[in-house]
A and B are shown apart, each in its own frame.
Chain A
Amino acid sequence: MHLVNESQNIIHKVCRMYCENEEHQKDLFQEILLQLWRSFPSFRGDAKFSTWMYRVALNVAIQDVRKQKKRKLLFLDSYEIKPDTLVSMPYKEDDRLKSLYKAISMLDKVERAIMMLHLDGIQNKEIADIIGISQNYVRVKMTRIRKKLSEILTTE
């Protein structure tokens, strides 16, 4: 429980990456916690706890069947709800971040997962371990995702 508590930001990050409203976010958060609890005996300690948590959280989020009305990330909502936090950021940087998250929301669920892990500063080896692909393919995927994102950002 304490381990989960310490790393709960991972769950919130995944929820915000895959949910479109607060209710969905709450449900997904609960589902991820339940799955973490159930599958904890499978954690043997050969990988980092955070890697294991990312695996479980992403598995639950990607299998989540709820139909999304429109592709929108909760991160965007948060930016909209809390204008006071925006004030503290230089305008251009905030605008760029919003556009980036909007573009990420256009990606498919697996691409979003890879991008999120990359943005979190996770090494390719660990990303490969979480996703179950080779490091080479992570690099290939990242190149494709970057290209896709830049195409989305330039068309906007």
Chain B
Amino acid sequence: MMMEQEILNRDRVDIPQIANAIHHKSTSEIAQIQKALKSKFAMGGITCLVSFTLGVLSWLFPEEVSPLDFAFSAIESTILFFVLGTSLAIMLGFNFRAFQRINRIRHSAHDLKTNLRLFIDSMESAISFNIYSDTLMTPVIVGWIYYGYVFRNDVLRWDIWGLMLIVLPILVGLFSYFFQRYTQYLKFGKYLDVLKGYWEDLENSHSKV
């Protein structure tokens, strides 16, 4: 083991180098996910606030505040803003939960098994957020674009075009859900499976021993 000691001594760094390393930004996968959640939260938060504000304003002052009058009437705009704001608020809830879970493990020092479980849960929470935020937002946006385009100069009627207003968001939502699930699996699936394998092996120790 003398050689091992020699190698480790060669690796040693001094205190200023340690201090310097501490001030660098983390490049870990979990830090990247947290960063992405933060920026989605900021963007979603601002859009949510703007949506509700415009919703209230277009409801109180339909003549003065109707920024989407090229496609929607004042009442349609109000509904759109409230639907958008509510969807974003739900999305922000998912986001906050995922962020909190990640934060919990970033400031803790549990044993390996506990940490693995928390890490897997955090990753799954962030993945769920990505899947459900897209599943929720894409149909809302597509549905409204479709409505604005088809019924721009017409009243809503329950023929094939009106029915599409229900069918299209459902189809887009389903596609979005499976597409997101697939892409998230491509990104993190195999890695998560390996970590789950480690955790299961450690967890099974209780039943085996």
Which of A64-81 touch B at CB < 8 Å? 64-65, 75, 78-79
Are B209 and A140 touching (Cβ within 8 A)?
A: yes
B198 and A109: CB pair below 8 A? yes
User: How many angstroms between the C-alpha atoms of A137 and B200 in the bound complex?
Assistant: 13
Query: Among residues 180 to 194 in chain B, which have CB atoms less than 8 Å away from a CB atom of chain A?
Result: 191
On chain A, the residues within 8 Å of B10 by CB distance are: 78
Bound Cα distance from A63 to B8, whole angstroms: 23
Query: B12 — which chain A residues lie within 8 A by C-beta?
Result: 8-9, 12
For the complex formed, measure the closest distance between the CB of B92 and the CB atoms of chain A, giving whole angstroms: 25
> Are A63 and B26 neighbours in the complex by a CB distance under 8 Å?
no
In the complex, the answer to whether A38 meets B112 with C-beta atoms within 8 Å is: no
Contact residues on B (Cβ < 8 Å of other chain), bracket: 35 or more
CB of A132 within 8 A of CB of B202, answer yes
CA distance A4 to B191 in the complex (A): 30
Interface size on A, residues (CB 8 A): 56
A27 within 8 A of B: yes
Within 8 A of A (CB), among B66-123: 106-116, 119
Nearest CB to that of B118 among chain A residues? A59
With A9-B12, A30-B24, A137-B209 already in contact, the answer to whether A59 and B109 are too (CB < 8 A) is yes
| Tally of A-B Cβ pairs under 8 angstroms | 130
Residue of B nearest to A129 (CB): B111
Whether A62 pairs with B108 at a CB distance below 8 angstroms is: no
A133: chain B residues within 8 A (beta carbon): 113, 202, 205
Contacts A78-B7, A110-B198 given: A59-B115 contact, CB under 8 Å?
Answer: yes
Pick the residue among B4, B19, B22, B28 that contacts A63 (CB under 8 A). B28
B8 in contact with A43 (CB, 8 Å): no
Q: Are A108 and B19 in contact (CB under 8 A)?
A: no
A132 touches B28 (CB 8 A): no
Residues 34-55 of chain B, each 1 if its beta carbon lies under 8 Å from chain A, else 0: 0000000000000000000000
Q: Interface centre among A27, A65, A79, by most B CB within 10 Å?
A: A65
**A155 at interface, CB cutoff 8 A:** no
Per-residue CB contact flags for chain B residues 193-209 toward chain A (1 = under 8 Å, else 0) read 00100100110011011
How far apart are the CA atoms of A70 and B8 in the complex, in Å? 23
Mark B residues whose CB is within 8 Å of A: 2-4, 6-8, 10-15, 18-19, 21-22, 24, 26-30, 106-116, 119, 191, 195, 198, 201-202, 205-206, 208-209
Q: What would 28 A/B residue contacts be, using CB atoms closer than 8 Å?
A: A1-B15, A2-B15, A5-B14, A9-B8, A15-B11, A31-B27, A34-B21, A34-B22, A34-B26, A55-B110, A59-B115, A59-B119, A62-B195, A63-B115, A63-B119, A65-B191, A78-B7, A85-B3, A85-B6, A94-B3, A131-B112, A131-B202, A132-B112, A132-B114, A132-B202, A133-B202, A134-B206, A137-B208
